[in-house]
Amino acid sequence: MLMSIVTWLASALVLGLVVLFSARPLRRRLISAPIFKTYKRILPQMSDTEREALEAGTVWWDGELFRGDPDWRKLLAFPVPRLTADEQSFMEHEVDQLCSLVNDWQVTYEDGDLSSEAWQFIKEKGFLGMIIPRRYGGLEFSAYAHSQIVTKLSTRSSALAVSVMVPNSLGPGELLLHYGTDAQKEHYLPRLAKGLEIPAFALTSPWAGSDAASIPDAGVVCRGIWQGREVLGMRVTWDKRYITLGPVCTLLGLAFHLYDPDGLLGDKKYIGITCALVPRDTPGAEIGRRHLPLGAMFMNGPTRGRNVFMPLDYVIGGPAMVGQGWRMLMECLAAGRSISLPSSYTGMAQLTARAVGAYARVRSQFKTPIGRFEGVEEPLTRIGAYTYMMDAVRKMTAGAVDLGEKPSVVSAIAKYHVTERARQVVNDGMDILGGKGICLGPANFLGRAYQQLPIGITVEGANILTRSMILFGQGAIRCHPYVLKEMKAAFNSDSAQGLHDFDQALFGHLLFTITHGLRALWKGLTGSHFVAVPAGVAPETRRYYQQLTRFSAAFAFLADISMLVLGGELKRREKLSARLGDILSMLYLCSATLKRYEAEGRQASDAPLMHWAIWDTMYKAQMAFDGVIANFPIGWIGRSLSRIVFPLGHPYDVPSDRIGHQVAKLLIEPSAARDRLTAETYLPQDVAESVGALEKALEATLAAEPVEARLRSLEKQGRLKDNPEANVRDLAQAAFNAGLLSAEDFALLKRRNELRDKVIHVDDFPFDQRRGQQPAPLHKAAA
Ligand SMILES: Cc1cc2nc3c(=O)[nH]c(=O)nc-3n(C[C@H](O)[C@H](O)[C@H](O)COP(=O)(O)OP(=O)(O)OC[C@H]3O[C@@H](n4cnc5c(N)ncnc54)[C@H](O)[C@@H]3O)c2cc1C
């Protein structure tokens, strides 16, 4: 009896579904039409600028993760980015030379700027024209080469990295390349490539930061006298701040709203956001004052202008491109965002891993290198594993740009997560250094990076906003197979066609949701053991691919239910949106890490870095699932989601201490794995430099460790008598004097001691030291 009821119900359900999915005119009238009506009513209105931002860029690997069933073969087939012979040579010679010309303390404290010599080198060697094609005199480097260079420069000095990366990122150079008229390209690109022009790009105003499209800066189309002739032009008023390279720029990219009240260009009164190139000497342009962003001495400052007249030819792309500024900016944003901050902040992490790791071995307390204490191992582990993952993300994302992608969501993921992890890595590094990290001076190699961390968190899309609005918000619309179609249908002015398209998208969407719900449940019940994994992946990573597929299916399902239940309200429920964005991001970070592990030949000694990084990230993804489910606005749906996503409980615990120990150990002694992890770190050879001294001190510490152990044992046996007159106990001297230590061993200890003393040294200054309090008035870039 019971069986026949169940059979009957199941048959009715199947029949209902078949009718629903096949009888289109009926379902359109009965189901889709009323839903369409409500959907159109609740869909938040979208401005042109919002729509342009959402639609800009391309969908890449993020699309696979969003659709719930990533094709891992695609990931493994993405070409591994490599440097050409020219790029490799540039990295080894010009980049190294430039690093050697810069002393960060000199820059940040003494001079307030890079030296004239460094600026000259930057310009002459083409550092400002890495993205400019050779035919205009640029270096025409790949995105990957660009990323490698910025990574290395930032291990030396933030002012150096920023001064080089900004002209190669979103700004006059890139905008000209894509939208400039031939005349503009011919004139400016060769000059930018050789550093004859220093560019800056001014969008942010005091009243519009994150909401940049609401800038009040405005221009009015009018006639005016320009170089003795009457021409069609614009009178522009602007007030901008925070503009990088602004104080020294010779060419200012400027974004403003353009109006045409007299109809000189046509019948549109409001033309839209417009981007122009304003030479520094344009009468009325105020350029030159400077901000002091957290002691980072790259040039940054405000610029203003009131009713400044400029010809329409100043518009990037000429008069034909008036009003296209926002689209231009959004289209170009992804490339720069994929490279600049992911690279510079990975550089910071590499430096921390290298130098703090060495310090943790050289510095002893309680007769033990501090890196051997479990308490210190914990932060060391994060430093190592995060750096491995950050580097993987930076490389994979730059590689996407080289494949021709403009990955809008992926670039936001890379920017957000690399800068956040750098914040953790540098904070951990500071904890390990103790007072050594706190007292500023030439001997401090991390304090400045620590001070400047918030800059990357804030620029190129402030992180809170990026996490709350972009990662999932833009991801859902761009990567989802049906959401954009539904939205487009709602905006369709032909409502019959709109309903037709909506109906198709809606039922496709429903099927998609049901399928992923069932897939997520099945994979949860079976522990994802039956998920197919491409043949040939490293056996030790197989389970990660399976779990990632499971999480991807669960994410697709959870995202869909959230969108179905909350609709446009999800835009305001930023905490939920942020957690959904976290899951998508974690899937991307793990994908990049697996890609790196394969690309580098599955190095057994790197395996702990890979395992810990992935385990930790999967655990965080799991917490993000919990965060969405626990806070789901309708309780019973939340509880049901929990049963579908985690039917047998949570698959991940915190990563193991055992693997954490292996990671920490990797950081405190020289090895090929440590070299790979910190491959782009600039290592000065001179022991007068703190990082140079650390490198040598680490070698000397290791060489001296067996002798040190013997010394300790002699001490324990009471065979060493200290010299009571010595200020610092010198057991080595005592042992040598007593004939208990050979001259060779004594020399090893002496060398270790000399280098260790250099490393633990912190700077002190005369009591009335005041220099460096004021920035130097001289701006050497302009010299
Ligand atoms: C050193 C430096 C260099 C810069 N270089 C340039 C440059 O070269 N050119 C240029 O045009 N601009 C530049 N900027 C500007 C930079 O892009 C802005 O600072 C950034 O867009 C944030 O604007 P804001 O600082 O006014 O912060 P606000 O917009 O006031 O934001 C404050 C906080 O609120 C959060 N927030 C805002 N809206 C939301 C939301 N809807 N949901 C959740 N959180 C939200 C933000 O995440 C942030 O944490 C630079 C800034 C700095 C500090």
**Per-residue pLDDT tens over the stretch 241-299:** 999 999 999 999 999 999 999 999 999 999 999 999 999 999 999 999 999 999 888 99
Helix (H, G, I), strand (E, B) or coil at 738: coil
Range with lowest mean pLDDT among 299-313, 354-368, 466-480: 466-480
CA-to-CA distance for 668 and 371, rounded, in angstroms?
Answer: 7
Angle at 315 between CA 314 and CA 318, to 5 degrees: 100
What is the per-residue pLDDT for 491?
Answer: 86
- 3 state SS for 516-570: HHHHHHHHHHCCCCCCCCCCCCCHHHHHHHHHHHHHHHHHHHHHHHHHHHHHHHH
Is any ligand 1 atom within 6 A of the Cβ of residue 350?
no
- Both tokens of residue 565? 């239940």
Tokens of 383: 């430093």
Closest by CA position to 616, among listed 655, 586, 579 = 655
The closest-lying atom of ligand 1 relative to the alpha carbon of residue 245 is 8
Q: Indicate if ligand 1 lies below 6 Å from the C-beta of 242.
A: yes
| Burial status of residue 696 (CB atoms within 10 A of its CB: 0-12, 13-18, 19 or more) | buried
pLDDT at 726 over 80: no
Ligand 1 lined by 444 (C-beta under 6 Å):
no
State phi, psi for 258 to the nearest 5 degrees.
Answer: -115, 135
Catalytic residues: 460
Ligand 1 binding pocket includes 454 (Cβ within 6 Å) = no
Tokens 């487009």 locate to 488
Q: What is the 3-state secondary structure (H, E, C) of 47-78?
A: CHHHHHHHHCCECCHHHHHHCCCCCHHHHHHC
Q: Judge contact between 103 and 691, C-beta under 8 A.
A: no
Cβ burial 239-275 (10 Å sphere, 16+ → b, else e): bbbbbbbbbbbbbbbbbbbbbbeeeeeeeeeebbbbb
**Which three-class secondary structure state does DSSP give residue 289?**
coil
102 Cβ neighbours under 8 A, 6+ residues apart? 114, 115, 118, 156, 157, 159, 160
Distance 780 CA to ligand 1 centre (A): 27
* CA triple 165-171-172, angle to 5 deg: 120
pLDDT value of position 783:
47
- Looking at residue 5, its pLDDT comes to 56
Distance CA 339, CA 239 (A): 28
201 lines ligand 1 (CB under 6 A): yes
Closest alpha carbon to 663 in 416, 419, 428, 345: 428
Contact yes or no for 192/130 (Cβ under 8 A)? no
To test the pocket of ligand 1, the residue of 465, 474, 574 to mutate (highest count of ligand atoms within 8 Å of its CB) is 465
pLDDT tens digits, 10-41: 565 555 666 566 678 888 888 889 888 888 87
Least confident interval from 61-75, 431-445, 472-486: 472-486
**Across 4-13, 196-205, 710-719, least confident range:** 4-13
Average of pLDDT values for 593-620? Answer: 98
Q: To the nearest whole number, what is the mean pLDDT of the chain?
A: 92
Contact 255, 275 (CB under 8 A): yes
301 lines ligand 1 (CB under 6 A): no
Q: What is the pLDDT of residue 11?
A: 62
Q: Which two tokens stand for residue 454?
A: 């918030």
Q: Quick one: average pLDDT of 89-95? A: 98
CB 349 within 8 A of CB 456: no
- Residue whose Cα lies nearest atom 43 of ligand 1: it is 465
Ligand 1 midpoint to CA 469 (Å): 14
**pLDDT recorded at residue 9:** 56
Residue 464 CA, closest ligand 1 atom number: 47
Please state, in angstroms and rounded to a whole number, the distance separating the CA atoms of residues 283 and 290. 20
Tell me the per-residue pLDDT of 376-429, one tens digit each, with 9 for 90 and over: 999 999 999 999 999 999 999 999 999 999 999 999 999 999 999 999 999 999
Residues 6 or more apart whose Cβ sits within 8 Å of residue 459? 242, 244, 341
Residues 6+ apart with CB under 8 A from 110: 771, 772
Q: What atom of ligand 1 comes closest to residue 463's alpha carbon?
A: 47
How much distance in Å is there from the Cα of 472 to the middle of ligand 1? 19
Distance 471 CA to ligand 1 centre (A): 17
Q: How many CA atoms lie within 13 A of 691 on its CB side?
A: 23
pLDDT of res. 29: 84
What is the C-alpha to C-alpha distance for residues 299 and 293, in angstroms, rounded to an integer?
9
Mean pLDDT score, 695-706 = 97
Is the beta carbon of 210 within 6 A of some atom in ligand 1? yes
Atom of ligand 1 nearest to the CA of 298: 1
Q: Distances in Å between the alpha carbon of 740 and those of 35, 549, 700, 719, 737?
A: 90, 63, 20, 9, 8
Find the DSSP H helices in 126-171: 143-154, 158-165
Distance 211 CA to ligand 1 centre (A): 8
Distance 209 CA to ligand 1 centre (A): 5
Distance CA 326, CA 273 (A): 6
Residue that is written with structure tokens 């000065």 in the block: 684
Provide the pLDDT for residue 769. 74
Please give the number of the atom of ligand 1 that sits closest to the Cα of 204: 11
Which of 204, 249, 298 has most ligand 1 atoms within 8 Å of CB, for mutation? Answer: 204
Task: Please give the distance, rounded to the nearest whole angstrom, from the Cα atom of residue 212 to the centre of ligand 1.
Answer: 9
Written as six digits, the tokens of 114 are 């890079």
Residue 645 near ligand 1, beta carbon < 6 Å:
no
Ligand 1 within 6 A of 256 CB?
Answer: no
Q: Amino acid identity of 632?
A: F
SS3 237: strand
Antiparallel, parallel or unpaired: β 251-259 and 270-279: antiparallel
Percent of the chain as helix, strand, coil, to the nearest 5: 60, 10, 30
557-592 per-residue burial string, b: 16 or more CB within 10 A, e: under 16:
bbbbbbbeebeeebeebbebbbbbbbbbbbbbbbbb
CA 391 to chain centre: 10
Q: Is the CB of 533 under 6 A from ligand 1?
A: no
